[in-house]
Every structure is written in C-alpha cells, then in structure tokens.
Structure 1
Amino acid sequence: MTSTTEETPFVVSLNDNVLERPQSSLWRIFHGTHYMIGALNFCIGSCMFFPSVYNNYSFALTIGGWLFTIGSFLFLLVDLQEWWYHRVGCCFDGKYRTSLETHASSLFRNPRNTFHGRYERAEVGINFFMSVCGSALYLAGSILFIPVFRNELVSGEWLFIVGSAFIHVSQTWKVYRSACTNIHDRHDRRFRLSNLLKDIPAFGVDGFAGIGGVFYFIGTILFLPAFNKTNMDAVRVAVLFVCGGTSFTLSALFLQYRYHFTHHD
C-alpha cells in the first residue's frame, strides 16, 4: 500500500473505468513476488514426500509441511490482494459504486436492483473470492501436514482436496470469462478460444494454476491411507505433487512476464 493512499483520500476520476483501474508497480511487485515464492515453496515441499527423501532424512516431512504452510499463506495473501482489487461490484465498494454505474453500466445487461444485475456486477468478485477460499483451505490443510499434527493428517488431506477443487474451479472460471471477453468489443460476450490468444500470459497464469489444482486434487486423494500403502504408492503421490508445484511455478512465471514485460498504463 502506497503512502499517498493513507495520507489523502482516494478519488476515482469519473472518466475512469473502475473495473480496469491501473495497478501500481508496487502492487504488481508485491503480488507477483509472493505468488512466485509460494509456488516455489509448493514445488520444493512436494519433493519432501518422495520415500527416498523422508526415509533418509527424518526431518523431510516436517520441512515439507512447513513449506506447504508458508506457500499456502503466501497464496492466501496474493488471493486476498487480488480479490480486494476485484471486489468492485461485489462488496465493500461504496466509494466506487457511483462511478461504476455511471461509466461501466453499459457492460451490464440488467439493472443493479435486480438479482441478475447484482450477480453480473458481483461475478468477478465471487470468482476471486473462490480462490481465497481455496488458499485458506490449503493453509489449514498444510498446517495439519506438519508431523506434529500427525493424528489430524487425514483431516488435513481432506482440506487440501477440497481446497484443490476450489482452486481448479476458480481458475477454470477465470479462463472461461477470458474466453468470453473480446478486448475490442466489450459488449461481445460470445465464447471464443481466439479471445484467450489475445492475452496468452494471462491464459498461462490461470491455465497452469488450474492444472496445478488438478494434480494436487488427485495426488492428495491418493495420499489418503486407503490408497497410500506401499513405497510405489508414495512415489506416485510425490510425482503428482511435484507436477502440481511445477504447474503453479509456471503460472507464477507467466505472471512475472505479464507484469514486467508487457505494457501497463
């Protein structure tokens, strides 16, 4: 948060589209750096679940649990930051509401005082809040992965499974919305794969994050005691975890490229 935000009231220009207001360099650095570190923590933490690692190093699972916990905490910070930016039209947006209705109302098909109108305005905020829920579930589950909570490991696994489902659905929803967004005609909301190609870095960010959620969803199900009985079972789980962490890291790399190597107003 910049100092000018705290020292003086922020006034939204009536000529600005509040749904596409610019993000500061500090905002992008904070968001991108935490996402990258979180993804790397997941990737490295996943390696701790190979039997050849934890059988030779007694502290490996402890390190893995802590890396997942730190990574999940950073993901939660990232998602909260992004949700707060995209909350306009959803909630806590009083200072933007007049500008939204004055300058972005043409983007909505229904008036604000109808159910469909409220949903249209809240859709993006709900989508990003789903990511917040997924990261929060990851954090709760990751804490229970730490061996000191070994008696609660199964509960942690189920929290991680549900969190992965939230992440995948949220990211798939983002990809779908992108495919329905024509940057040249915002009133054209038809689903087109060509729309995704107009912002490939954004597609990479959301697509790889969604794929990462799938790998952790399947991997954590197979981590449950009913399916994880032999060393080969454990290797299968660790491979899926590493694939998930790698997908998150690729997503973070696409985000870095988008923030630092593409044009921003």
Structure 2
Amino acid sequence: MGLLRSHDAGHERHDPEHLESLLGEYHDVHKGFHPESRAWKLLHALAFVLGGTTFISGTVALFFPGYDTLSALLYTIGSCGFLSVDVQEFLTFEGAVLRANIAMSLVGSSLYVVGSVGFFPSVFAWSPLIGIWGFILGSAVIGISQAIKTYRIGATNTDGAFSLRHLITDTDARTSAGVETGACLGAWCFFFGTCLFNRGPLEGPDSVMQTVLWTWVAGSCFFTLGSAFLCYRHFVMRVV
C-alpha cells in the first residue's frame, strides 16, 4: 500500500541512483495510464480510501447485533481495495527491492481478503480459523512490509542511513511516510486486536469484545489516515 516516490517541492528529482534506491523504474505502461497520469492517481487513491473507510464502517457494524454479514461484506470490499492498490503498484513499477516490498503488501492484502470472507457467518460457523488467521497473518505481513517502506523513505538521500530528522523535516519524506506509517499502524492494530479476539472470551463479564472492536476501529482510522496522506500527495502536491 502506498508508494515510495520522492520529490522536491514543485519539481521531480532525476538522480538515477535516487530513483532506483527509492522507487525503481517505471514499468512499460500505456501512455494513458502512466503513474504521473490523473487516471492512475485517481484509481490509486480511490482504492486506498475505499479500503480504509469500509474497514471503519465494517468495524462499527459489529457494535450492533445482527450485522455480521454486512460487516464481513464491507471488510471484503475494503480488502479488495487494498489489494487493488498493491496490484496496481506491482504492475507499474520494477526494481527488485521495491517489487519484493510491494509483493509483501500484496500477499498481506490477499490474506485480508481471505480473512474477510472467513468472517461471513456461514464460513465462520464452518471454521473460525479462516477469518482469524487470515487477519492475523495478513496484518503481520502488511505491518512488516509497511515498516520496511517507512525505513527506506527515512534512509533515502541520507547516504543510506535512516534519519528520523529527515522524515520530520522533509515535506516529501514526511507525507510519503504518512502513507506507509498509517498502513503500518493500522495493520498492527488489527494484528493485536485479532489475537485478542482469538484468545477471548467474547461473551460474559470478562468479554474482550469491546476492546477488540475499539482496537479495530483505531486500525481502520490509521488505514484511512494513510489514504488521506496519499490523496494529499496525489492531488495537492501532485506527486506519485
């Protein structure tokens, strides 16, 4: 989820070593669907926003009895949104390190799709492990992948050494890290929330369900925050 493209304010850096270390090269794509095109950015942003907002609504639905099917449907739609972002990036960019990093996120998003389907009542009744482990494993993979992306952003244009100061003071690095860190924190919230859901109990005076749901709400909000940073980059800063 998200990209690692870096720009100076108002103009693109063209240093080949910088682009290779940070983003890789553009893949051969149709002229009308180049990463710098409005169509590419629009699809990229909408898919990410769809993922974050449907995760929020899907979690909120679980606060109300009888909305399990709607929640699972919203989670499935959101997971497909996240997966769309990763597939779009994987098909657009090359460069071994970057593509491996994107592939990790793609695997995590695919596990989210499996996990979301696993929370449909009929599937959950057959085997709750599908939904639970889909989210636990997917969250772990996404969380690690996004942490690596954030590290790479902080290590770009700093002689390869991670610099927190660079992430804070450089506008491009700060907004790019906002995309990746938002998704990273969102994934870890779902990881710990789902682990707690798996341990239980889910009913009675010692139920952990409220804690689980609020942890998932926090994770969904972090995902949505990441998508907001992406929209800002695409449509305000006008960068990838």
Q: Normalization by structure 1: what TM-score? A: 0.73
Conservation of the 8 A alpha-carbon contact between 2:233 and 2:239: no
Conservation of the 8 A alpha-carbon contact between 1:35 and 1:74: yes
| Distance across 2 between alignment mates of 1:214 and 1:264 | 27
Counterpart secondary structure, 2:237: coil
Conservation of the 8 A alpha-carbon contact between 2:48 and 2:82: yes
Q: Does 1:82 align with 2:89?
A: yes
How far does the alpha carbon of each residue in 1:210-247 deviate from its partner, in whole angstroms, 9 at most, with x for none? Answer: 00011100111111154434364111111011111111
User: Which amino acid in 1 is paired with 2:217?
Assistant: V
| Distance across 2 between alignment mates of 1:32 and 1:155 | 29
| Distance across 2 between alignment mates of 1:24 and 1:219 | 38
Conservation of the 8 A alpha-carbon contact between 2:72 and 2:119: yes
User: Which amino acid in 2 is paired with 1:207?
Assistant: T
- Superposed, which structure 2 residues align to 1:102-181 within 5 Å? 122-150=96-124, 151-181=126-156
Q: How far off is 1:81 after superposition?
A: 0.5
| Distance across 2 between alignment mates of 1:247 and 1:264 | 22
Q: How far off is 1:148 after superposition?
A: 1.7
2:54 aligns with 41
Q: Does 1:193 align with 2:164?
A: yes
Q: Does 1:27 align with 2:40?
A: yes
Q: Does 1:66 align with 2:73?
A: yes
Conservation of the 8 A alpha-carbon contact between 2:193 and 2:216: yes
How far does the alpha carbon of each residue in 1:190-210 deviate from its partner, in whole angstroms, 9 at most, with x for none? Answer: 221122232221111111110
Identical aligned residues as a percent:
35
| Distance across 1 between alignment mates of 2:148 and 2:99 | 12
Counterpart secondary structure, 2:208: helix
Unaligned stretches of 5+ residues in structure 1:
1-14, 90-121
1:249 aligns with 224
1:260 aligns with 235
User: Which amino acid in 1 is paired with 2:61?
Assistant: M
Cα RMSD after superposing both structures: 2.0
User: Which amino acid in 2 is paired with 1:191?
Assistant: F
Conservation of the 8 A alpha-carbon contact between 1:212 and 1:248: yes
> Runs of 4+ in structure 1 displaced over 2 angstroms?
15-23, 225-232
Q: How far off is 1:20 after superposition?
A: 5.4
| Distance across 2 between alignment mates of 1:227 and 1:28 | 43
**How many pairs are equivalent?**
208
Unaligned stretches of 5+ residues in structure 2:
1-14, 27-34
Conservation of the 8 A alpha-carbon contact between 1:49 and 1:234: no
| Distance across 1 between alignment mates of 2:236 and 2:60 | 31
Q: Normalization by structure 2: what TM-score? A: 0.81
| Distance across 2 between alignment mates of 1:221 and 1:73 | 22
Counterpart secondary structure, 2:156: coil
1:93 aligns with none
